[in-house]
Amino acid sequence: MFTEQDHHYMALAIKLAKQGHYTTSPNPRVGCVLVHEEVIDRVAAEREKINTQIIGTGFHQKAGQGHAEVNALLDATTNNPHLIKGSTAYVTLEPCSHFGRTPPCAQALIDAQVKRVVVAMVDPNPEVSGRGLAMLEQAGIQIAFGLLENEAKSLNVGFINVMTKALPYVRVKLAASLDGKTAMKNGESKWITSTNARFDVQKLRAQSCAVITGADSILTDNAKMTVRLVGIRRFKG
């Protein structure tokens, strides 16, 4: 059973994950919130009142850099190091259990001595799925998963498709007139989409790993298929 408090902090973790929307590829977008809990009324167990405090937040910014859990722990270490032990971590994706370009996040949470880890969705990668949760549980950490799972899945539809089906997630965009044409007979063409539609295309390009187009678009139109949207947040490193 998840509490209203659990929902609140997981929703915040999902919001954090969205900040890496255009920059984490090929890694998934993940957010993490660390919360310290303190019982402030011990009159009776059924009447316990708990005061909560966010002690650290983080999200995965770019492949090869720190994952969400590591960034949240770093934030907490900087501002509230004495409150990390015994805290609760809310993570949108199961903490990784293997060494990749960075060390496993499950071990980082174990080393930090958190008390509880709440996960939105289990890692869809069949080679590691469930292993991070198992590591945490074996270390004596309370685990729970499935909170706001659908919202977490919507963050990473491409990543999930690759991991579960070994296929890319494909989006198709076509600009055509009512008669199904994309240009005049002589090859002359101009925008037939609205400003909003062109804006959407730029966002789709920015979140895609690859863009596929017809040969004529390149040879005739010299289309670069680059992202020309101002204001997309990108993380350097």
Q: Six-digit token pair at 198?
A: 């062109």
CB distance 96 to 67 below 8 Å: yes
Q: Tokens 């090869």 identify what position?
A: 64
Give CA–CA dist 119/30, Å, rounded: 11
Among 69, 94, 137, 151, which one carries the catalytic annotation? 69
Q: In this structure, what are the phi and psi dihedrals at residue 152, rounded to the nearest 5 degrees?
A: -70, -40
Tell me the residue type at 155: L
Give CA–CA dist 132/95, Å, rounded: 5
Count of residues in the chain: 237
Q: List all residues 6 or more positions away from 18 whose beta carbon is below 8 Å from its beta carbon.
A: 29, 31, 155
Give CA–CA dist 39/98, Å, rounded: 35
Tell me 15's DSSP state: H
Give CA–CA dist 10/177, Å, rounded: 44
User: Does residue 149 have an active-site annotation?
Assistant: no
Give CA–CA dist 41/218, Å, rounded: 68
Catalytic sites, residue numbers: 69
